[in-house]
Chain A
Amino acid sequence: MPIELWLLFVTAVAYLGLLFLVAYAAERGWLKPGLVHHPLTYSLSMGVYATSWTYYGSVGLASQGGYVFLTVYLGVTAAFALTPLLLQPLARIVRDYQLASIADLFAFRYPSRVSGLLVTLFMLIGILPYLSLQIQAITESARVIVQDAPPDILALVGCVTLTLFAILFGARHLTPRDKHEGLVAAIAFESAVKLIALLSVGGFALFGVLGGPDALAEWLAEHPERLRQLYDPVGQGPWLAMLFLAFCAAFLLPRQFHMTFAENNNPAALKTASWLFPLYLLLLNLPIVPILWAGIRQGTATAPDFYAVAITLNQAQPWLPLLAFVGGVSAASAMMIVEILALASMCMNHLILPVRLLGHAPQRDLYRWILWTKRLVIALIFAAAYAFHRIIEHNQGLAQLGLISFVAAAQLLPGVLGILFWPRATRIGFIAGLCGGAVVWFALLILPLTVHEGTLTRELALSAMFGEGGANIWSVTTFWSLTVNALLFVLGSLLSPPILEEAEAAEACRPQPAYQPLAGQVAATSPRQFEKQLAKVMGSYAAHAEVLRARLELGLPHDEERPTELRRLRERIHRNLSGLLGPALARLIVDDQLRLREKSHIALAESIRYMEEQLEESRSRLRGAVKALDDLRRYHRDVLHTLPIGVCAVSPQGEVLIWNDAMQAIAGVDARQAMGRTLANLPVPWGELLADFAASAERNRAKQTLQHGGRWRSYRLHKAQIEPSQGQPREAGGLVILVEDRTDLDTLEAELAHSERLASIGRFAAGVAHEIGNPVTGIACIAQNLIYEDDPERLEAAARDILTQTQRISDIVKTLLAFSHGEPLARQPPSLFRLRDCVLEAVRLVRLSHAGRQVQLDCRVGEDFLIRADRQRMAQVFVNLLANACEASDPHTRVEVVAEADGAEHLLVHIYDQGRGIPEEIRQRIFEPFFTTKSVGEGTGLGLSLVHSIIEEHHGSIQIRSRPEQGTVVTLRLPRAAVPAPPEETIIP
């Protein structure tokens, strides 16, 4: 029963309206994001592979070649079985380098404007007949349904509608880098529709026409030749060639590349698609044979290509023919939309943009210009497909024009294999191979179309040369075009040495790229200068937007000036522009406008952040020894970052490379803020401090105080030179600075020192009582005698005696006060004083002790020996050392302090005693805190430990030599202070 044309038209329009709605809903976020990004949606969107060739042409192919039609899908299954080796590496390259089309991929790997241009032109020529075939399929199926030739205007209206759809949902965003969720959702919807339609028609064929499985089995038993017609061609004729062509088409056809890689929102979904998409193809092909047999059973006069609609016309309900027609529309429209979008993207990046951007004044708004030009290109390609459909007479079967495109796409296989597996491949080889393959393809498949009125026959002059002996045209053309292609590819590559860009691109395409440091420094010194440079080509608006985008992606401030960060910014802009303008043009613009300084280099060590970023990005791809090394790297990094000591690694040029967690806490400076800056440019006060320490000759700085966070804090600094390992360049070296926050430890030490001082005073208490007691007794006696004195001279003498005695008491008290004075936690700033005064003060104090009174204490320290130190703490040193010497000495022996110059800058202070000496085993532990040989309650064990600590703090050293029963010499080596100019500094007496 024929269907009215208006009903068919309304149905098609309603379907396309529904398609618009689905795409719009996905774009507006009305569909759940989980649904749009679901692997099922992704797998269905790949169903764009199945065009009207599958929908209609498979039945025609099955009628001629039996199960040969399955090879078109079995080849795809074989390609998807190789997902980890083939598709995932390609997906990674496309994602990492923001490639928008298959031409971009070749232009990236074989850096030359010719590579992309050639692929674009070849694909345009190869695919255009296939596009026109889709229009032909729709109009032909409409003719079958209405049983009359539909007006040509319908095909035109269909083309205009699809153009609108492609423009609205495929060229929607200002920048082509963004994914088109609406497009993906709509193509997935179309795949679902054609599957449902074909399954419905297949179900009708099996149950409605053939009478069910049992009846079919009976019919086949009566007509065994039908089964033989299916199975006889298996493995024969074009079987292998078509398997191979389908294998290539699975990822090399522009539309497949576009949906599989460029529009892929979810990289992990490719794994699921590796089996779900072949399963979809299996379901789609399951009804083909029943439809064929139903057509034969019905004796339909229509060509087998259109059995899918013809068999449905013999039933009362019109919904099935309409559904079958909608399925055909969905198959053709999806293919046209995606194929034309992919071709438009290729034309933009490799035909139009290079001409427009190079040699013309920059656009004011490049984005808008790109968007509208791309829309125009889409419309032009649609128009070309429509014109081709009108001009050429389609004498070919649906499958044959499709296969011509497949052979064209297969010419890209050697280039892709070069990308994935042959780093030595060069652009010369690729261009030579592609040209050679294209010439053979044109001579064997396109030329005969014009010579023989659009019919490919085995009698063709050229193909007949190779086709003798039963070989068919597809095997012959595939074999010879690819043989010529591959030979030229290999020869061309071997004969042309790879240029630097090729070597870099080949490295980037390896499954586990060797991480190259970013070489060179950008001549531009700020993001603003980047904008100015880019604006010369891209216009100020796009230049500003691109720099801003890259800057925000990297988290860099607008006034960034660190060379390493600017180098990273350049790299990011290059990648982003690659997504916008294609890799060839992006490289040209970046190389030209964001030049690298000649003879400059960025040290290997300075690229640490970039390399770390690359490693983090590609961590999931690392395997084997590389992964083990990366694990080791992460472990070392974690150790470095969790060290409780601040670590700051500096490049030979003085830029901070590592700034660990403790360093962030100590300095209050964030790692992102610090890294890449020179030490001197770090925030106050750290910049000055670290730069000064790095420049100084000292390897350690025992104590550095800084006011930080509202209080004084104490730090100890260390540094070490990083020597490059063997085989590494000199630039790999640098400096590592360790910063230890000693504030808490110093506080504790100060408390201990104070306790020790108080303990010393306690130990001197008896002596103090004795020393004070004597003058007091003397004063008392004098005072008693004064009652009886009336001689003025004697009275005056008595008064003088009293004053002398009180002065003696006052001296003792002053000394004690000076020794014990001060807050336990307060440190005095270093002052300049005579060493002799300090030693004498200590001698006076020690003489207060019982042991001190038993020995002879001598001080032989010159008047001119000055030191700069914390005087109170230095007095503590001598008190402790002298007290120990006295306690170790027998009564009436001598303890002597002697000082001498040690060169111009140091002093040696020896404290000799003639005591018992220190046994060797004790001497080794003598500076340990709380180590004492005295009885409990007599000593704290902190005395010598404090002495050691104080001397080290003052950049000095201490050495002990001792002989049993002969005595001990303690030698202090202290920095000697120069005599100051009188008005500036006063020596404290």
Chain B
Amino acid sequence: MPQFPSRRNDGAILLLLFALLLFASPFADWWAQAGVPWYFPFLLWGALIGLIALYQHSRDAD
């Protein structure tokens, strides 16, 4: 079944929204004040990169 362009790129939009949730929303204020270790932002960043890699891998598989 052919996919429409918007469908194929939905993942990219979701990733951007997820990035905004992590780093540009009240959630960012919350984790910044939650007493997390110093490397916590790097863990979030790494998770985002992992999701981007997974998404690209799934696109390649398509």
| Residues of A near any B CB (own CB < 8 A) | 67, 70-71, 73-74, 77-78, 80-85, 220, 227, 230-232, 234-235, 239-240, 243, 271-272, 274-275, 278-279, 282, 285-286, 289, 511-512, 623-625, 627-628
B18-46 Cβ-contact flags toward A at 8 Å (1 or 0): 01100110101101110010110110011
Of the candidates A78, A81, A624, the one having the most CB atoms from chain B within 10 angstroms of its own CB is A81
Please name 20 pairs of A and B residues whose Cβ atoms are closer than 8 Å in the assembled complex, sorted by A: A71-B23, A73-B45, A77-B19, A81-B16, A82-B13, A84-B8, A232-B32, A234-B28, A234-B32, A240-B24, A275-B53, A278-B49, A279-B49, A282-B45, A289-B38, A289-B39, A511-B5, A623-B2, A624-B4, A624-B5
The answer to whether B20 touches A85, judged by C-beta atoms less than 8 angstroms apart, is no
The answer to whether B5 touches A512, judged by C-beta atoms less than 8 angstroms apart, is yes
Q: How far is the CA of A239 from the CA of B48 in the complex (A)?
A: 18
Chain A residue numbers with a CB within 8 Å of B13 are 82, 85
Would you give the shortest CB distance from A78 to chain B, in whole angstroms? 5
The answer to whether A278 touches B32, judged by C-beta atoms less than 8 angstroms apart, is no
Could you list 6 further interchain pairs (A-B, Cβ under 8 angstroms) beyond the known A78-B16, A227-B38, A234-B28?
A78-B20, A84-B59, A235-B24, A275-B52, A289-B39, A511-B5
Q: How far is the CA of A278 from the CA of B13 in the complex (A)?
A: 17
Chain B residue numbers with a CB within 8 Å of A240 are 24
Chain A residue numbers with a CB within 8 Å of B8 are 84, 623
The answer to whether A85 touches B38, judged by C-beta atoms less than 8 angstroms apart, is no
The answer to whether B49 touches A282, judged by C-beta atoms less than 8 angstroms apart, is yes
Q: How far is the CA of A350 from the CA of B48 in the complex (A)?
A: 40
Q: How far is the CA of A240 from the CA of B28 in the complex (A)?
A: 11
Chain B residue numbers with a CB within 8 Å of A234 are 28-29, 31-32, 41
Chain B residue numbers with a CB within 8 Å of A67 are 32, 41
Minimal Cβ-Cβ distance residue in B for A625: B2
Among candidates A231, A289, A512, A624, residue contacting B3 with C-beta atoms closer than 8 Å: A624
The answer to whether B29 touches A235, judged by C-beta atoms less than 8 angstroms apart, is yes
The answer to whether A70 touches B5, judged by C-beta atoms less than 8 angstroms apart, is no
The answer to whether A230 touches B38, judged by C-beta atoms less than 8 angstroms apart, is yes
The answer to whether A271 touches B9, judged by C-beta atoms less than 8 angstroms apart, is no
The answer to whether A272 touches B56, judged by C-beta atoms less than 8 angstroms apart, is yes
Minimal Cβ-Cβ distance residue in B for A74: B23
Chain A residue numbers with a CB within 8 Å of B60 are 271
Chain A residue numbers with a CB within 8 Å of B39 are 286, 289
Q: How far is the CA of A628 from the CA of B1 in the complex (A)?
A: 9
Minimal Cβ-Cβ distance residue in B for A289: B38
Chain A residue numbers with a CB within 8 Å of B3 are 623-624
Q: Is the interface of B mostly helix, strand, loop or mixed?
A: helix
Would you give the shortest CB distance from B4 to chain A, in whole angstroms? 4
Chain A residue numbers with a CB within 8 Å of B41 are 67, 70, 234
Chain B residue numbers with a CB within 8 Å of A628 are 2
The answer to whether A78 touches B19, judged by C-beta atoms less than 8 angstroms apart, is yes
Chain B residue numbers with a CB within 8 Å of A243 are 23-24
Minimal Cβ-Cβ distance residue in B for A271: B56
Q: How far is the CA of A934 from the CA of B36 in the complex (A)?
A: 104
Chain A residue numbers with a CB within 8 Å of B50 are 275
Chain A residue numbers with a CB within 8 Å of B36 are 231
Q: How far is the CA of A78 from the CA of B52 in the complex (A)?
A: 10
Q: How far is the CA of A624 from the CA of B4 in the complex (A)?
A: 4
Would you give the shortest CB distance from B59 to chain A, in whole angstroms? 7
Chain B residue numbers with a CB within 8 Å of A74 are 19, 23, 45
Chain A residue numbers with a CB within 8 Å of B15 are 81-82
The answer to whether A231 touches B42, judged by C-beta atoms less than 8 angstroms apart, is no
Chain B residue numbers with a CB within 8 Å of A70 are 41, 45
Would you give the shortest CB distance from A184 to chain B, in whole angstroms? 21
The answer to whether A231 touches B23, judged by C-beta atoms less than 8 angstroms apart, is no
Chain B residue numbers with a CB within 8 Å of A512 are 5
Chain A residue numbers with a CB within 8 Å of B4 are 623-625
The answer to whether B52 touches A81, judged by C-beta atoms less than 8 angstroms apart, is yes
The answer to whether A82 touches B32, judged by C-beta atoms less than 8 angstroms apart, is no
Minimal Cβ-Cβ distance residue in A for B53: A275
Chain A residue numbers with a CB within 8 Å of B45 are 70, 73-74, 77, 278, 282
The answer to whether A82 touches B56, judged by C-beta atoms less than 8 angstroms apart, is no
Chain B residue numbers with a CB within 8 Å of A623 are 2-5, 8
Task: Check A220/B49 contact, CB under 8 A, given A81-B15, A624-B5.
Answer: no
Minimal Cβ-Cβ distance residue in A for B14: A81
Q: How far is the CA of A234 from the CA of B44 in the complex (A)?
A: 14
Task: Check A82/B12 contact, CB under 8 A, given A275-B52, A275-B53, A282-B42.
Answer: yes
The answer to whether A627 touches B2, judged by C-beta atoms less than 8 angstroms apart, is yes
Chain B residue numbers with a CB within 8 Å of A230 are 38
What are the 8 closest A-B residue pairs judged by CB atoms, nearest first? A234-B32, A275-B53, A81-B15, A624-B4, A275-B52, A231-B32, A235-B29, A235-B28
Chain B residue numbers with a CB within 8 Å of A231 are 32-33, 36
Would you give the shortest CB distance from B44 to chain A, in whole angstroms? 9
The answer to whether B59 touches A271, judged by C-beta atoms less than 8 angstroms apart, is yes
Q: How far is the CA of A2 from the CA of B20 in the complex (A)?
A: 45
Task: Check A81/B38 contact, CB under 8 A, given A271-B56, A512-B5, A624-B5.
Answer: no
Task: Check A83/B19 contact, CB under 8 A, given A67-B41, A274-B56.
Answer: no
The answer to whether A77 touches B49, judged by C-beta atoms less than 8 angstroms apart, is yes
Task: Check A83/B56 contact, CB under 8 A, given A78-B19, A282-B42, A624-B5.
Answer: yes
Task: Check A85/B28 contact, CB under 8 A, given A271-B60, A623-B5.
Answer: no
The answer to whether B42 touches A274, judged by C-beta atoms less than 8 angstroms apart, is no
Minimal Cβ-Cβ distance residue in B for A226: B38
Would you give the shortest CB distance from A221 to chain B, in whole angstroms? 11
Task: Check A82/B5 contact, CB under 8 A, given A70-B41, A282-B45.
Answer: no
Chain A residue numbers with a CB within 8 Å of B11 are 84
Q: How far is the CA of A285 from the CA of B24 in the complex (A)?
A: 19
Minimal Cβ-Cβ distance residue in B for A276: B53
Chain B residue numbers with a CB within 8 Å of A278 are 45, 48-49, 52
Would you give the shortest CB distance from A820 to chain B, in whole angstroms? 66
Of the candidates B11, B15, B42, B49, the one having the most CB atoms from chain A within 10 angstroms of its own CB is B49
Chain A residue numbers with a CB within 8 Å of B33 are 231
Minimal Cβ-Cβ distance residue in A for B45: A282
Q: How far is the CA of A81 from the CA of B18 in the complex (A)?
A: 10
Chain B residue numbers with a CB within 8 Å of A80 are 52
Q: How far is the CA of A489 from the CA of B41 in the complex (A)?
A: 37
The answer to whether B5 touches A220, judged by C-beta atoms less than 8 angstroms apart, is no
Chain A residue numbers with a CB within 8 Å of B53 are 275
Q: How far is the CA of A239 from the CA of B29 in the complex (A)?
A: 11
Minimal Cβ-Cβ distance residue in B for A622: B2
Chain B residue numbers with a CB within 8 Å of A286 are 39, 42
The answer to whether B12 touches A83, judged by C-beta atoms less than 8 angstroms apart, is yes
Would you give the shortest CB distance from B40 to chain A, in whole angstroms? 9
Minimal Cβ-Cβ distance residue in A for B15: A81
Chain B residue numbers with a CB within 8 Å of A274 are 52, 56
Of the candidates A227, A274, A289, the one having the most CB atoms from chain B within 10 angstroms of its own CB is A274
Q: How far is the CA of A511 from the CA of B32 in the complex (A)?
A: 40
Q: How far is the CA of A840 from the CA of B21 in the complex (A)?
A: 102
Chain A residue numbers with a CB within 8 Å of B49 are 77, 275, 278-279, 282
